[in-house]
Chains A and B, each alone.
Chain A
Amino acid sequence: QKEVEQDPGPLSVPEGAIVSLNCTYSNSAFQYFMWYRQYSRKGPELLMYTYSSGNKEDGRFTAQVDKSSKYISLFIRDSQPSDSATYLCAMSAGGSYIPTFGRGTSLIVHP
């Protein structure tokens, strides 16, 4: 079993939908949780960064961390076709910033 599990999708939604992307993990030492967006043929771009448990909101994006369940989520409100990309979760245990990445979920937002 991998340390970080993420459904690869693809997840296809209509424009304007609320999108929920999720990851589970097994390493209870993880404290830093990140979401990256990766467009085709591009490098990952950091979207959200959360330390420990709780919620964090940035515009249309909300990141949630539930350490008791070892489960993290990214919600995208009012999804747009430009949100179509692969979303990677990543997490690290602290001490040095070497994240463990999930395999990514492919999101397709159709007009």
Chain B
Amino acid sequence: EAEVAQSPRYKITEKSQAVAFWCDPISGHATLYWYRQILGQGPELLVQFQDESVVDDSQLPKDRFSAERLKGVDSTLKIQPAELGDSAMYLCASSFGPRDTDTQYFGPGTRLTVL
């Protein structure tokens, strides 16, 4: 069964350092999402891509976060510089399309700890 791949699974960094997360969606899925899930909370959308274009990045802290999906396939989320409050699970999800009936499939996530 096809799955969303993410790496690394765990990342520990010191504050002010740069970190990057990678996501490979299910083949054929045009829509890709990055979510942040703080411990004990539900996921919150950071950015949505349709192919290589950003559809929604209204909740992305653009002073320190950036995301790209250059060829409309895999995607990278970067944080520079990392802050203590960025410690969370970063989840990538993909779907065939952006409609309400298009199921989102989540990857296993990257657990970030900022010291």
Tell whether A pairs with B.
Answer: yes
CB distance from A34 to the nearest CB of B (A): 9
**A95 in complex: contacting residue of B93, B100, B109, CB < 8 Å:** B100
Q: How many chain A residues have a CB neighbour from B under 8 Å?
A: 26
Q: Give min CB distance, B5 to chain A, whole Å.
A: 11
Q: In chain A, what residue has the closest Cβ to B33?
A: A98
Binding-face segment, B14-22, B42-50, B61-69, B73-81: B42-50
B103: nearest residue on chain A (CB-CB)?
Answer: A46
Number of A-B residue pairs having CB atoms within 8 Å of each other in the complex: 61
Secondary structure class of chain A's binding surface, majority of residues: loop
- B40 part of interface (Cβ distance < 8 Å): yes
Which residues of B sit under 8 angstroms from A41, Cβ to Cβ?
Answer: 108-109, 111
User: 20 other contacts beyond A43-B93, A99-B104, with CB at 8 A cut-off?
Assistant: A6-B42, A41-B108, A43-B107, A43-B108, A43-B109, A45-B106, A46-B104, A46-B105, A96-B55, A96-B98, A96-B99, A97-B98, A97-B102, A98-B33, A98-B45, A98-B48, A101-B42, A102-B42, A103-B40, A103-B42
Determine how close the nearest CB of chain B comes to the CB of A2; give it in whole angstroms: 9
> Which residues of chain B have C-beta atoms less than 8 A from A49's C-beta?
103
Nearest CB in chain B to that of A43: its residue: B106
Closest to B41 in A: A103
Measured between beta carbons, the chain B residues less than 8 angstroms from A32 are 100
Q: Which residue of B lies closest to A101 (CB)?
A: B42
A100 to B99, CA, bound (A): 15
Residues of B within 8 A of A6 (CB): 42
